Chain A
Amino acid sequence: MSLCAQNDFVRVFRVFNARPEGVLQFSTQPVNEQAGQDRDIELLRQIAGSDRAAFAEFYDRHATLMFSIASKILNYSGEAEDVLQEVFMQIWEKAGKFDPKLGKASSWVAILVRNRAIDRIRASQRRTRLAEEAGAQRIDVVDISDTANAAIHGHEKAELIRSAIVELPVEQRRAIELAYFSGLTQDEISKKLNEPLGTIKARIRRGLLKLRDQLEGVL
């Protein structure tokens, strides 16, 4: 670990260790991935038909992941609740637009939340500060049993996922996190990291492809 990364680790470790007491501890039992995906598709189909029971079940399955993403991007502000409401209403109204060919339902809702939270940041004057903070909050220091992946994929797979992320070269992971959690465009990342645009694109591509290859058979 580089000196810079070590400094980051020390700086943010206190933040992640300071989570409130009483938060739900997820089971570390692995879950049946394919059955879960099929169930999500079925639930979204039922939601498209205005099935409230299906909507409630879908909420229970994904609300924690979605709220976690919104909270991370919005720095755990109260706005995460608003984002969650907006996205769930979006799902209620547009569940029929979900296309399983383009990814899992969990990935879809994660993108919906991420985009909605990023929109909030972009609409406010807090972008620079939040972007800095989001960039500083690294995921390698989070207790594995305290991650949404542990609930979705089980403890072992969550560990594999985090290992794959941690093993990425720091510059690749940094570019990916700035794009995903801070909502920076490729140009903005280039300026922020003071690197050529082509370099940023290449880092992001190589980083994601490496993760894809390492997580083959895991996800």
Chain B
Amino acid sequence: MIDERTEEQASLHVLGALSETEAREFKRKLHSDRELQAFVARLSTVTGAIAGAVSTAEPPPQLRAKILAQAGEPQKSILLPHRKPSLLSWLPWALATVFTTLCIVLNVQDAQLRKTLANQVKQINKLNQLALTLQSATNDLQQTVFALRETNRLANLKIAMLNSLASGAPNAIAVSLWDNEKQNGVLVTQNLKTLSADKDYELWVMDENRNPVAAGVFHMDASGEIRLDFKPSRAIKTAGKFCITEEVRGGVASPTIKNMVLASN
């Protein structure tokens, strides 16, 4: 049910006699009230009839063509005189076209560069993986080389057991470890008898020509054991046998054969 005040507002609304504020408020109300919409529709028909009660005035015949032509124009602005398109009028369009084309080209290039970049990143990743693989292989090879070197070094090592030749010390024994590459060695003895203060034991290394080369002297205490790092007095191409002789203190240039106490096979 529409109250009297709303009917008044609706009447003023269809006649356009509401103030702007009142009209806005009424339109909000109208939007959500179907009964009011029907009431306003009926009153609008009445005002339409009032409008139609005026004497007719025919619009000028040329006005029809003018209005229809305007409706077909892309820009529907009114009463603008028609102008012939000049070169300058095309300039903004030309610039827009160039700009659009440029954007398209740049966009395509951007896409291509992105694709290339993605491929290169992929290749870099592959190369990184390959590098890791190679690094791993290198490590393996280095380990192999190291092992080979160790093997080679072991190959250069000569281990010799020196057995007792002296009747006074039948249990005496010594082991010589010789590194031909480094030209040095280690001698470990056991059960050698103690020498008098004026005597020393002297180690000899037989070279490739079976010539004895002095490798160091040592004095034995009561323990009978010693560990001696030795180095021959000259370079030896290939070490043959090892022997230990009993010599005067400080050693001699040539071994005294009769005083040999230990010798390798």
List chain A positions with a Cβ less than 8 A from chain B: 16, 19, 23-24, 26, 52, 55-56, 59-60, 63-65, 67-69, 71-72, 76, 80-82, 84-86, 88-89, 92-93, 101-104, 106-108, 110-111, 114-115, 118, 137, 139, 142-143, 146-149, 151-153, 158, 161-162, 165, 176-177, 179-181, 183-187, 189, 201-202, 204-205, 207-209, 211-212, 215, 219
17 A-B contact pairs sorted by A residue (CB < 8 Å): A24-B58, A68-B57, A82-B78, A84-B67, A89-B78, A92-B76, A101-B38, A101-B41, A102-B40, A103-B45, A107-B45, A147-B53, A147-B54, A147-B55, A153-B49, A162-B53, A208-B46
Which residues on the B side are within 8 Å of A76 (C-beta)?
Answer: 57
A81 touches B60 (CB 8 A): yes
Q: Which residues of B contact A185 (CB under 8 A)?
A: 17-19
Known: A110-B48, A143-B55, A204-B11. A189 touches B63 (CB 8 A): no
Interface of A is mostly: helix
Q: Does the CB pair A176–B63 fall under 8 Å?
A: no
* Shortest distance from the beta carbon of A17 to any chain B beta carbon, whole Å: 10
- Known contacts: A104-B45, A107-B48, A111-B44. The answer to whether A205 contacts B11 by CB under 8 A is yes
Instruction: Digitize B77-109: 1 where CB-to-A-CB distance is under 8 Å, 0 elsewhere.
Output: 011000000000000000000000000000000
Closest to B70 in A: A89
Q: Which of B50-77 contact A (CB under 8 A)?
A: 50-60, 63-64, 66-68, 70-72, 76
Contact yes or no, B46 A212, CB < 8 A: yes
Provide the residues of chain A in CB contact with B14, threshold 8 Å: 111, 208
Most chain B CB atoms below 10 A, which of A107, A165, A209: A107
